[in-house]
Structure 1
Amino acid sequence: MIRPARSTRSTGWVPVALVALVLVPAIAGSLRLLDLSGGPTLMPANPRMSASPVPVVVHIISALAYATLGAFQFSAGFRRRRPGWHRMAGRVLVVLGLAVAFSALWMTLFYPRQPGTGELAYVFRLSFGSGMAAGVILGLTAIRRRDVARHQAWMTRAYALALGAGTQVFTQGLVHAVFGTSALTTDLSLGAGWAINLAVAEYVIRRRGSRRTASTTTGRRGSVISG
């Protein structure tokens, strides 16, 4: 008996690439947690966080878990092999995603302004933090309506915004190297990190939609021919 050939194309690299993107922020966040817990001081002092550590602890822990767990949701092969895990992890990711977004918004609103940044960074943080929270909520609403396409689209956008810190490592380094360090260049480099991630997310969403449309069209043609 001849079995239909299976695609050998692997998607196992996707989670690894996504986790690698946030490696630097993850290390920095872990060192900050060590500092706040009374361990050795390996990061520059940050009086804003030391005075009110709970929001930043919630943000770092939830962001690390969200970035790592969420990466595996983008592996089509992993989802097919473990559909139950995908649903269970999705419920956890909703909680983690909202914790990331709301803790970020809390710090933006109530922490003293981060030195070296200006009004533009403040607006960016409020806008993209709110956007991430909205993406998680809209994604949850969509899957409850069994609208898988919208669910995937909104969750992809939310995850892209959560990974902004990873991309900002590169955008800040590039912008500062070319244009120098100032409040304006720092603000713009932060915004560029989120904007790049959103652009990539939209590309992925549109590509996924095109494949879904092509698959549906092919299926209809096959039904007509066989009929």
Structure 2
Amino acid sequence: MTISPTWTARLSTAGLLLLSAVPVVAGASRVAGLAAGAQSTPDTARFVEAPAPVVAHIIGATLFCVLGAFQFHRGFRRRRPGWHRITGRVLVPCGLAAALSGIWMTLFYPLPEHDGARFGILGIERLVLGAVMAAAIVISLRAILRRDIVRHRAWMIRGYAIGLGAGTQVLTLMPWMLTVGEPGAFGRSMLMGAGWLINIVVAEWIIRRPAAARARRARPVLTGGTAGASPGR
């Protein structure tokens, strides 16, 4: 049974939305709690005292991940090019808000103990990947303004992969927590880093796949061990 490209695109979009579901629901719960006047506890004091960065991060990341999932549906882009352009104008500020607020929170929020030192492994991961995500979005924007669609697509995929890290981190953290328990600072940094790494590897595979396919199609066919040799010789 062969799956049609349309169904492949639909399944990919559904998969991205499913991957976004847990962090989106958790983020919505956090924002709702802050709006309702949540009580300050040791775990939430930083959010209650300075809610703007975390609210900007949650809203920006939610829109970036959910709307972005539809941007990668080729058939949807072709049928609704206007939607693709309008949504792109929303995604750029949302993605930058998510990346830059994430950097701000890493630098200035009091961090929970399980995150380790501010400039420990997890802190460095967040700072570096937040900066790369912001840079990827800016490069993608500059590329589309120059009508360089291939470069625009590649860098937006990279930015989206990093932004979707929280979804994949559910898959890397949750099994460990259910079977072993709460990881320490080092284990947490490794498991969260694994979530980002998985997304980055998949993104690079997606980016390079069309070029590899073109190279295979352009490869000369060898007959009888010699290119261009006739069967009778």
**TM-score bin (small chain):** 0.7 to 0.9
CA–CA separation in structure 1 for the residues paired with 2:213 and 2:71: 18
Classify the secondary structure of the residue corresponding to 2:114.
Answer: coil
Give the drift of 1:82. Answer: 0.8
Gaps of 5+ in 2: 220-233
Give the drift of 1:109. Answer: 0.8
User: Which portions of structure 1, spanning 4 or more consecutive aligned residues, are displaced by more than 3 angstroms?
Assistant: 174-180, 211-215
2:10 matched to 1:9?
A: no
The 1:211–1:145 alpha-carbon spacing in structure 2 relative to 1, beyond 3 Å, is farther
Native 8 Å contact 2:38 2:48 kept in 1: no
2:127 matched to 1:129?
A: no
Native 8 Å contact 1:179 1:185 kept in 2: no
Match of 1:87 in 2: 85
Q: Deviations over 1:46-72 (max 9, x none)?
A: 111111000001111111111111100
Q: How high is the sequence identity, in percent, across the aligned residues?
A: 46
2:68 matched to 1:67?
A: no
Match of 2:138, as an amino acid? Answer: I
The higher radius of gyration belongs to: 2
Q: Deviations over 1:158-183 (max 9, x none)?
A: 00000000000111123444586211
Count matched residues. Answer: 210
Match of 2:75 in 1: 77
Give the drift of 1:83. Answer: 1.1
Classify the secondary structure of the residue corresponding to 2:113.
Answer: coil
Gaps of 5+ in 1: 1-6, 219-227
Structure 2 residue aligned with 1:33, among 31, 34, 51? 31
Native 8 Å contact 2:43 2:112 kept in 1: no
CA–CA separation in structure 2 for the residues paired with 1:32 and 1:44: 15
CA–CA separation in structure 2 for the residues paired with 1:192 and 1:64: 21
Match of 1:185 in 2: 187
Native 8 Å contact 1:142 1:150 kept in 2: yes
- Give the TM-score, by structure 2 length: 0.83
The 1:68–1:44 alpha-carbon spacing in structure 2 relative to 1, beyond 3 Å, is farther
